Amino acid sequence: MDTTRFERVKQVLERRQTDLTVCLEEVHKHHNLSAIARTADATGCHHVHAVWPDNQKWLTNNTSGGSKNWLETHLHRTIDDAVAMMRAHNPEVQILATNLSDDAVDFREIDYTKPTAVIVGQERDGISPRALEHADKHIIIPMQGMVQSLNVSVAAALILFEAQRQREEAGLYERNMLDDSIKHRILFEGCHPIIAKQCREKELPYPALDESGEIVADDDFWQILKHTQSLEATNDSQ
């Protein structure tokens, strides 16, 4: 086990912000999906939401650069479902929508130390009227040129890094917000992906990890992992 990698993953998970999230409403282009996922990971988000009415595949390893492996991604059929889950995670969340309206405010005027969810819209049509109804505030990125909007991934990056700046200043990244069980799952899957896949196939719980990230398991575990067919394979043979 690469101890340096293990310690790096632990440090990242200890700084995760479970009360900062982004919601992608029908953002379809894979390069935008990938860029936003990478930004969410880089700024410490733990949850990312995406609205996909057609239940399409959201991210692949090729397009996400592996970022999705470190995030909890939630796919929803409607914006109503997405907002319901975001409010269930934190009833105090302020929902922001990127939208050029009469009452929109500069995105830098928002207090991002509060629980925050940012909705960004589809590349062509922007945010839907229904999503705007859910928003507590509309935010804009001021423009000094001829264009009136930025690429959706660029806009998301500017907003999330402003949130990171404010949260760094407030010391919010010093909080340990993830449950130990969630951290253990992500650590195990990130540091031992092959063993993790075998455990899932054979419905075995992930064993403990020591301080260096090495697996702590008895002989029975290894024997089961080596010799027992997965439940799916057993059903297929019957």
Cα dihedral 128→130→136→141 (10° resolution): 10
Dihedral sign of CA atoms 98, 101, 105, 106 in order: positive
231 is in an annotated binding site: no
* Structure-token pair, residue 53: 């009415």
158 is in an annotated binding site: no
One-character DSSP codes across 77-125: SSHHHHHHHHHHH-TTPEEEEE---TT-EEGGGS-TTS-EEEEE-BTTT
* Element holding 50 (H helix, E strand): strand 45-51
150 is in an annotated binding site: yes
d(Cα 96, Cα 87) in Å, to the nearest integer? 13
Residue 77: alpha-carbon gap to chain centroid: 17
* Structure-token pair, residue 227: 């010799």
* Residue set of the binding site: 98, 141, 150
* Residue set of the binding site for S-adenosyl-L-methionine: 98, 141, 150
